[in-house]
Amino acid sequence: MKVVWDERMHDAWGLVVSALPDAEVYYANNVPGSTTDPNGNKNDRGYAGMTFEILKAKYESTLKPFTVVRSSSTSYCIEATANGVTVMKNGPAATIVEGRC
């Protein structure tokens, strides 16, 4: 897939990028029996249960709005819209591209 950069994507791209370090900390902390479990569910793991609200409350209060459309133990899809453009990241190894999850 070829990624075409459109200057209108810049702000939405920044919203998704800002979520990534916190998503990885969430992943590392979200293990059964962990004392640092971010979502309070002692039975899930990985990215499961991850939301914008949890990332903002637990890790970075300055996060700007984005949407965690889905999350599982091994993956997620995060999207954000700014200036009428929506971009998404469909998993930890994926590239950020224009579109919806």
State the DSSP H helix or E strand holding residue 98, giving kind and residue range, or none if neither. strand 97-98
Q: Is the pLDDT of residue 1 over 90?
A: no
Residue that is written with structure tokens 């479990």 in the block: 37
Q: How does pLDDT run across 54-64, given as a tens digit for each residue?
A: 999 999 999 99
Per-residue pLDDT band for 10 (boundaries 50, 70, 90) equals confident
pLDDT at 32 over 80: yes
How wide is the angle at C-alpha 40 spanned by C-alphas 80 and 92, nearest 5°?
A: 35
Those residues whose C-beta lies under 8 Å from the C-beta of residue 28, and which sit 6 or more positions away, are: none
Give 80-91 pLDDT, tens digit per residue: 999 899 999 999
Residues 39, 97: Cα–Cα separation, whole Å: 28
pLDDT in tens, 33-69: 888 899 988 889 999 999 999 999 999 999 999 999 9
CB proximity list for 8: less than 8 A, separation 6 or greater: 83, 84, 85
Question: Would the pTM count as exceeding 0.75?
Answer: yes
